[in-house]
Amino acid sequence: MAREFTGKFARNPQLNSNGELHHLLSIEGLPKAILERIISTADSFINVAEREVKSVPLLRGRSVFNLFFENSTRTRTTFEIAARRLSADVFNLDITRSSTAKGESLLDTINNLTAMQADMFVVRHATSGAPYLIAQHVAPHVHVINAGDGRHAHPTQGLLDMVTIRHYKRDFTNLTVAIVGDILHSRVARSDIHALTTLGVPEVRAVAPLTLLPTGMEQMGVRVCTRLEEGIKDADVIIMLRLQNERMQGALLPSAQEYFRNYGLTPEKLALAKPDAIVMHPGPINRGVEIDSRVADGTQSVILPQVTFGIAVRMAVMAIAASSKVMH
Amino acid sequence: MAREFTGKFARNPQLNSNGELHHLLSIEGLPKAILERIISTADSFINVAEREVKSVPLLRGRSVFNLFFENSTRTRTTFEIAARRLSADVFNLDITRSSTAKGESLLDTINNLTAMQADMFVVRHATSGAPYLIAQHVAPHVHVINAGDGRHAHPTQGLLDMVTIRHYKRDFTNLTVAIVGDILHSRVARSDIHALTTLGVPEVRAVAPLTLLPTGMEQMGVRVCTRLEEGIKDADVIIMLRLQNERMQGALLPSAQEYFRNYGLTPEKLALAKPDAIVMHPGPINRGVEIDSRVADGTQSVILPQVTFGIAVRMAVMAIAASSKVMH
Amino acid sequence: MAREFTGKFARNPQLNSNGELHHLLSIEGLPKAILERIISTADSFINVAEREVKSVPLLRGRSVFNLFFENSTRTRTTFEIAARRLSADVFNLDITRSSTAKGESLLDTINNLTAMQADMFVVRHATSGAPYLIAQHVAPHVHVINAGDGRHAHPTQGLLDMVTIRHYKRDFTNLTVAIVGDILHSRVARSDIHALTTLGVPEVRAVAPLTLLPTGMEQMGVRVCTRLEEGIKDADVIIMLRLQNERMQGALLPSAQEYFRNYGLTPEKLALAKPDAIVMHPGPINRGVEIDSRVADGTQSVILPQVTFGIAVRMAVMAIAASSKVMH
């Protein structure tokens, strides 16, 4: 029915015609109300994780398939934990060894798994857009969660950052948030910027050398800073990005030492931020490259709580998507 | 006790002395009554799979070990889903990395796993007969399910084909069934022919070039057709086989293009069959080699329902075997 | 609080300040009362394993992470079975493919997994002492079980040997126990000697060629025998060790044939032991190298029951550790 009103452009493929979250593909395009619902649902699951019995029956009897076309043990494990704490049946497919290796197409693989009565696919793929393609073709009752597609998006990582910020800062509307590091290659940075902007953060800063900054930052409402000192001055939240090893040997950066000297977060530099500023990092951290161990292990670091909140937010996304109405 | 009466030949190793299914090793030698019981039990499980909570407690507390000496992600996954929907505890052993790599014999491995209180082994092995060897040596209460042994048998695949045919055609006794493709190398074809004959199908046709036909087809009660047009004429059921890539480069076939021209199922050729004929394929399909996409995705294709029925039939086999009495 | 009283040396890192088992790192240093509690708890779980429903709810809702930095399918499987029979949620991490491969430190990996609300780590690592390092750094409520660290210890294997001996011999205080084979490289031998001595076995013998004997055996209260005949004479229990293939080609041994001639356990040699002596082996066995098949498969062999008891003892260790009080 909604299709009659969408006109020339298809409606947001993540939402059903009721406007409910049906797939999670990207933070881009998620309305503020849905972001806020995910964050507050995640908040309620944080308590579940601290109980001795850590499960709730919201997905009992549902089948969740982890389809990791690209290997990521940590992300896969957090999704598996999240799904099992929701009491789902979780199946990890060793895709690299499977029929796709026999030349079967991605969509034929998906169709086959759907015929095994999958209710939800958690997809990680090296190709940007692969989860969209899958979402377009699955049966109406099936949900697709993007667990990272190429350089495009990693929405649950962005969402866990929002849960973390809300947990420590309560309110988004008076914050200064600095994102520091390899913004050019980071799907986390992209997701974070969209979420922060949507949630009303008045100042988002992208802090990086020019070689690691994408163009068009200003149009996204982001202030660009090429010096770390300027970028973190009076910040409430500092999100450090991981520096991929392969960048350090490339033409984009002179050396890891030089990078650390200019952009590594040390206690001295952290002192420029607000006294109660929190330090975040998506992990795994490179100690002594993008972050000093005294900061990573210090009192302002919330890097490990981020991991805990990551499971809560994945539970939230799965529970909300699974509760959406199937529209035909 | 039964042993006294078996005389010179051992009784069917799949059945206990009560004639109940204890192991599933091959469709060859299964009495019609057992085939029919498996098919009708599978039918009842199809409904389970469509419920929101997809599990039944028939194997609660039992331990099922997936022993895949040969890699097959899809088949392993369907058995895992089936066992978990029966509420069994399923353990996937990475056999290629295990003690067998340290030189332990197959039977020592099996004895060790049995000592871990295994109740059922699902075995896939490159060597024909390996599941028989295992079945002969396990403790009396342990069940062995063959998930594919060499070129010999793949009985649950054959059984799911029977469930599919019964689902769409209701009755076997007035059907014409054409099996098309690489019959020589297909363990599915072998299983299907045994099952169809036992279930009373009056006309089974083997359709293939002479280089891909085993000898002795006529003695099995099968009509041999070397032309596709003749083979599928007025057929009720067409079972397309997968063409292994390695055959196409060998001496058995000129080229994939030539094979498709002669044996590929196109809408035009399908028109020669009965108007309500169904098209089956064990998957994964090679689009444009053995089957045209318009047929694979067309209204007569039941390829994806076969996958669904495959889980139901594996549930049925496990549930029936596990309910057999232990005879000493 | 306990720390104030520990003086110069840290207290046993396996016990909490109440003296309860909190981690299992090594049999060395475990008080006799704790050894006996583990053995009798394991005894009670043997019966659980023989029931049709093999699980108890002692660890329901707890998360157990299998961290196998060194591959061992069999040991990992027994721990997984044990944890699942205790109703825990078990997560197998493919560590070789994970973030540690991206250069993350062991302790950062552990901290991350702890942040995922791990309750227990089962650790196997090629480096001696790795489980100690982990135990020193985990949060107070987390338990660490050593599943084998380098050449140092493999305590659950030693404990299952004790469960086996108690099962068949009832009392330790009048036994003669012979440990035969590659004692120099065996972490099982080391664990066994500590446990047997602690439990009051009056005569423990180390039986091996001089090249496979460590120094200092006598100081551990062990009688050294370089001839098999002398070593097993009138023994109640014979523990055969596995001969690693790599030793046979090295300078330590002339050949597998020569080793078998001198130290292989044959029925003839076994006749020198007590008539009701039991024969044990940690598996996988090398038939015809350290043990004759007639002995391995004979009536005095308890090699397969050892596997069964191995699951019971792992259940016991996990259940006891998980029930220890968290001390701050």
Mutation test of the interface with chain B: which of C307, C309, C313, choosing the one with the most B Cβ atoms within 10 A? Answer: C307
Kindly report the nearest CA distance between residue B2 and chain C, in angstroms.
Answer: 26
CB C54 within 8 A of CB C40: no
Q: Given an 8 Å threshold on Cβ–Cβ distance, is C63 in contact with A74?
A: no
Binding partners of A (≥3 Cβ pairs within 8 A): B, C
Q: Given an 8 Å threshold on Cβ–Cβ distance, is A77 in contact with C116?
A: yes
- Interface confidence, given as ipTM, is 0.87
Query: Tokens 């590091």 label which residue?
Result: A181
Mean pLDDT of B165-188: 94
pLDDT at A257: 85
Residues in chain A closer than 8 A to B245 (CB atoms): 102-103
Residues in chain B closer than 8 A to A98 (CB atoms): 73-74
Query: Tokens 């961290």 label which residue?
Result: C67
B vs C: CB pairs below 8 A = 63
Kindly report the pTM of this predicted structure: 0.90
Amino acid at A280: M
Closest residue in C to A246 (Cα–Cα) = C102
pLDDT at C293 over 90: yes
**pLDDT above 90 covers what percent of chain B?**
66
* Residue in B60, B103, B114 nearest the CB of C53: B60
pLDDT at C163: 98
Buried b (16+ CB within 10 A) or exposed e, B258-269: ebbeebbbeeeb
Residues in chain B closer than 8 A to C77 (CB atoms): 91, 93, 116
Report pLDDT digits (tens) over B276-313: 999 999 988 999 999 999 999 999 999 999 999 999 99
The mean of the pLDDT values for chain B is 89
pLDDT at A254: 73
Residues in chain C closer than 8 A to A73 (CB atoms): 93-95, 97-99
pLDDT at B7 over 70: no
pLDDT at C254: 74
pLDDT at B4: 34
Residues in chain A closer than 8 A to B285 (CB atoms): 104, 108
Q: Which residues of A touch B (CB under 8 A)?
A: 60-63, 89, 91, 93-95, 97-99, 102-105, 108-109, 111-112, 114-117
Q: What is the pLDDT along chain A (328 residues), one digit of tens a residue?
A: 333 333 334 568 899 988 999 999 999 889 999 999 999 999 999 877 677 667 788 999 899 999 998 888 889 999 999 999 999 999 988 776 555 555 678 888 899 999 998 999 999 998 889 999 999 999 999 999 999 988 788 999 999 999 999 999 999 999 999 999 999 888 889 889 999 999 999 999 999 999 999 988 888 889 999 999 999 999 999 999 998 766 666 667 778 888 899 999 999 999 999 999 999 999 889 899 999 999 999 999 999 999 999 999 999 999 999 998 776 5
Q: How far is CA B212 from CA A55, B182, C183, in A?
A: 54, 5, 58
Q: Given an 8 Å threshold on Cβ–Cβ distance, is C99 in contact with A286?
A: no
Residues 6+ apart with CB under 8 A from C254: none
Mean pLDDT of C128-157: 91
Q: Given an 8 Å threshold on Cβ–Cβ distance, is A97 in contact with B73?
A: yes
pLDDT at C8 over 50: no
pLDDT at B15: 93
* pLDDT band per the 50, 70, 90 thresholds, residue C328: low
Q: How far is CA A52 from CA C87, C113, C117, C270, in A?
A: 13, 17, 10, 51
* pLDDT band per the 50, 70, 90 thresholds, residue C100: low
pLDDT at B1 over 70: no
Report pLDDT digits (tens) over C38-71: 999 999 998 776 776 677 889 998 999 999 988 8
More confident residue, B150 or B248: B150
pLDDT at C71: 81
